Amino acid sequence: MHRSPTAETEVAEELAAVRPGLVPRYAAQLCGARAAVLTRLWRALAFEPLPWITGRERVRDGLVLRLSDGRRLQGPPADPYATAAYVTAVLLDGTAHDDPARLMTDLAVPHGGSLAAELGHSVASLALSRADRPTPAEAHPKEWPVEDWEGEQRVVDGHPFHPNCRSRPGFSVAEQLAYGPEHRPSVGLGLVPVRTARTARRTRTARTSS
């Protein structure tokens, strides 16, 4: 299996500095995070109109995508509505890929490099989010949130269909732990005085523009 260690390793190294006790749980979540992001990516490859995919063929045990350069990408049957991480690997010309970032790199399609980097961050950040979620003893999933923000903090995996569901490039691990809602931070908000005339003028300008 291919691995794309860059983002995963960077997060692990930063985590060891700021929350060393969370490192084992983070490492344990990486495999599941790769499958979750790969499932989202496979859904997009199976259904989105992409110029470098010239054909899609349903076979007995899955789906085969024909690429414009002659290669074939094969995976399980694609379900547009499934949210479980059912794609653990796909085959690119017979070579197994379980890492979505490495897969996108090896596809070598236009803009694939930048997307691969974001996918790598998505995997690493998702593993971090899952590692830091409450234990069953700490969580109360059947209790309705008292505040709206408590509900948002319960969304650990991000968007159920978007491959970059947890991609936060540019955010350090410390910043994710401090500001990511699924990490359950308490962020204080400061009040800044604003002159009423300036606020009113900008509001009028916005209405005129629209």
Q: What is the pLDDT of residue 15?
A: 96
CB-based contacts of 74, cutoff 8 Å, min separation 6: 59, 62, 63, 64, 65, 90, 91
Please tell me the predicted confidence (pLDDT) of residue 3. 46
pTM of the model: 0.82
Residues of the chain scoring pLDDT < 70: 1-5, 135-142, 145, 149-151, 153, 197-210
pLDDT of amino acid 141: 63
**Interacting residues of 151 by C-beta distance below 8 A, sequence separation 6+:** 145
Question: Which pLDDT score is estimated for 207?
Answer: 54
pLDDT at 101: 95
The dihedral region occupied by 62, where left means phi > 0, alpha psi between -120 and 50, and beta the remainder, is left
E-assigned strand segments in 40-122:
53-59, 62-67, 72-75, 90-92, 95-97
